[in-house]
Amino acid sequence: MTIVANYSSAESRATGTLTVLGLETSCDETAASVVRLSPDGEATVLSSVVHSQIDDHAAYGGVVPEIAARSHVEMIDGVTRRAMVEAGVGYDELDGVAATAGPGLVGGVMVGLSFGKAVALARDLPLMAVNHLEGHAVSARLGARVAYPFLLLLVSGGHCQLLEVRGIGDMTRLGTTMDDAAGEAFDKIAKALDLGYPGGPALERLAKQGNGARFDLPRALLGRKDCDFSFSGLKTAASRLAQTCETAQDRADLADAVQTAIARQLSERSDRAMKAYAERHKGRLFVVAGGVAANGTVRATLEATAANNGFAFLAPPMAYCTDNAAMIALAGAERLQKGLISDLDAAARPRWPLDEKSALDDPTHKAGRKGAKA
């Protein structure tokens, strides 16, 4: 990483405001966005274009990495052009380019990162290789004026983590999943219930007609003092029960039980994190980001937990909760503001823990298939 302090555009030289193009291609969304960051930390989204590949993957019941990478190659040009046009800025008005460099499906990450490098090289702009999780971590700052520090629960299809967010490049992981992410559990159980992909929203709709009280699903990690998560036992138990469901009511009842169990675990682990966080910080803000934050039961349960602990509760607008490039552009702009620039040979990383120290210290999350991504 190189530390620089000279910004390129006339606007930034005059006002200190930074305008950054962000690119996101780590999973099944091709996204580009232009974000402006004022010297006092206020973010303005000038454009945010997201092309979802859901239709390309639906037939397979999940994201197919090869199809995703090819689709990113086809879409990245047009999506970026649209983001620039909608923002109404030219390339000479940009101060930098930010691209997700991991963690994620590496074929896709390479597409966005290479594209970002090409723009940086062609326009002589600084490149910021951004950790996708860092993007989610700052996403609350896109919808409202949110000051650091805050406690974040990031809960999506690929991630389930509790993070103490003190600023860009300054975050501590308090807990992570030891197996599946919560969204992954929603999706896989939904698949066992024949609800299609992505299953989370469909499972939530079905659960509205059910009453899960009659199902006794496993409660993982009860009584453990850390803030980690585990959803694989629940996933296996619920998938088995799905095979025994005979009526539509059985299925709705199971969906309700699953949703309640996931919400309960998220809330129990967040409760621990809030208590630990409150010992270190005076401010009390709890932010929930990621696609699973769309779930009404999850949200309501977490909101109640936050209130019990004296925390204010914030979930960014859905457009910034799920994968998008505005969060990558903002993380990039905050990095640029601090002079944290990446080299043009920055590598695409399938696994990249946001808090490398916690990932190395914690023996349950060794580098490897599970640990580094989680």
Judged by CB under 6 A, the residue of 189, 287, 292, 372 near ligand KG4 is 292
CB of 7 or CB of 186, closer to ligand KG4: 186
CB of 134 or CB of 323, closer to Zn ion: 323
Judged by CB under 6 A, the residue of 187, 228, 253, 334 near ligand KG4 is 187
Contact call for residue 231 and ligand KG4 (CB under 6 A): no
Nearest distance in Å: CB 326, Zn ion: 13
Helix (H, G, I), strand (E, B) or coil at 265: helix
How would you classify the pairing of strands 285-289 and 170-176? unpaired
Q: List binders of ligand KG4 among 8-67 (CB under 6 A).
A: 27
Q: List binders of ligand KG4 among 157-176 (CB under 6 A).
A: 157-158
Residue at 304: amino acid letter: A
CB of 175 or CB of 316, closer to ligand KG4: 316
Nearest distance in Å: CB 64, ligand KG4: 15
Q: Among 321, 352, 25, 4, which residue's Cα sits nearest to residue 152?
A: 321
* In contact, 47 and 84? CB cutoff 8 Å: yes
* In contact, 33 and 326? CB cutoff 8 Å: yes
Contact call for residue 323 and Zn ion (CB under 5 A): yes
Q: In the block, which residue shows the tokens 């966080």?
A: 277
d(Cα 321, Cα 288) in Å, to the nearest integer?
8
Q: List binders of ligand KG4 among 308-367 (CB under 6 A).
A: 322-323
Judged by CB under 6 A, the residue of 115, 186, 229, 320 near ligand KG4 is 186
Helix (H, G, I), strand (E, B) or coil at 163: strand
Judged by CB under 6 A, the residue of 294, 344, 347, 360 near ligand KG4 is 294
How would you classify the pairing of strands 127-131 and 150-155? unpaired
Contact call for residue 183 and ligand KG4 (CB under 6 A): yes
d(Cα 6, Cα 275) in Å, to the nearest integer?
42
Q: Among 349, 348, 343, which residue's Cα sits nearest to residue 120?
A: 343
Q: In the block, which residue shows the tokens 């197919």?
A: 64
Judged by CB under 6 A, the residue of 103, 143, 291, 371 near ligand KG4 is 291
Contact call for residue 199 and ligand KG4 (CB under 6 A): yes
Contact call for residue 29 and Zn ion (CB under 5 A): no
Contact call for residue 290 and ligand KG4 (CB under 6 A): yes
CB of 294 or CB of 347, closer to ligand KG4: 294
User: Which segments of the chain are extended strands (E)?
Assistant: 2-3, 18-24, 29-37, 43-52, 96-102, 127-131, 150-155, 160-167, 170-176, 285-289, 312-314, 340-341
Judged by CB under 6 A, the residue of 134, 179, 204, 256 near ligand KG4 is 204
Residues that bind ligand KG4 (CB under 6 A): 27, 156-158, 183, 186-187, 198-201, 204, 290-292, 294-295, 322-323
Residues that bind Zn ion (CB under 5 A): 156, 323
